[in-house]
Amino acid sequence: MRKQKRNRHSELQKVLDENPFMTDEELARHFDVSIQTVRLDRMELGIPELRERVKMVAHDAFSKVRTLGQQELIGRLRDIELGVQGTSFLDITMDMIFEKTKIVRGHYIFAQANSLAVALVDAHVALTAEATVKYIRPVYAGERLLCTAKVSQRLGKRVVVDVQTTSGGTTVFSGRFSIAIIREGE
């Protein structure tokens, strides 16, 4: 029993290192144990609850961003490598959906992708100059969106960023954003 617990503790740490945004419920399903067992394991290992893990990850990642303030990024920043790539999460809530259809308003999905694309640019001022986007399937309340952005081209004062948003491993949105870098005095 002790060995099983040690193995679970080791695996728990690895799982949360890879995805710090997993809930206790998701961890309980992953390990086929009760939620209480997960909470006790986290306490023994000194791993904070989800809300605190999110704050820590976002703070660490966001300290690198130059183009946006923390309140301007839509979603929670998971990681970022300026000029290269980044990821963010967005949990869809009831206040983001159309009342009649229960489908999320598209501007939330767009805003997550757009703000992540802008955040990737290593400049003091960067603005979206052009965007080509595709909504692939409807998104509903309760879904968690994972947005992945990668710089694909640098064209003078423009940076092209390709973005893909998934939910549960299925692509729900894709886009290409042309971000203009604005130099001081321009």
116's tokens? 């992540």
Handedness of CA 22, 23, 29, 35 (dihedral sign): positive
Give the residue extent of every domain in the chain: 2-47, 64-181
Q: Which residue has the tokens 């909504």?
A: 135
Residue 54 · residue 76 · CB < 8 Å: yes
DSSP bridge pairs for 126? 181
Overall pTM > 0.75: no
May I ask the CATH architecture of the domain 2-47? Answer: Orthogonal Bundle (1.10)
Please tell us whether the domain made up of 64-181 is placed in CATH 3.30.70.1710.
Answer: no
DSSP bridge pairs for 181? 126
Q: Do the domains at 2-47 and 64-181 have one common CATH topology?
A: no
Q: Which residue has the tokens 């791993």?
A: 47
Phi/psi for 70 (5° steps) reads -60, -35
Amino acid (1-letter code) at residue 132? T
Instruction: Please report, in tens digits, the pLDDT of each residue of the chain (186 residues total).
Output: 577 878 888 888 888 777 777 788 888 888 888 888 888 888 887 777 777 766 665 555 545 555 555 567 788 888 888 889 999 999 999 999 999 999 999 999 999 999 999 999 988 888 999 999 999 999 999 999 999 999 999 988 999 999 999 999 999 999 999 999 987 655
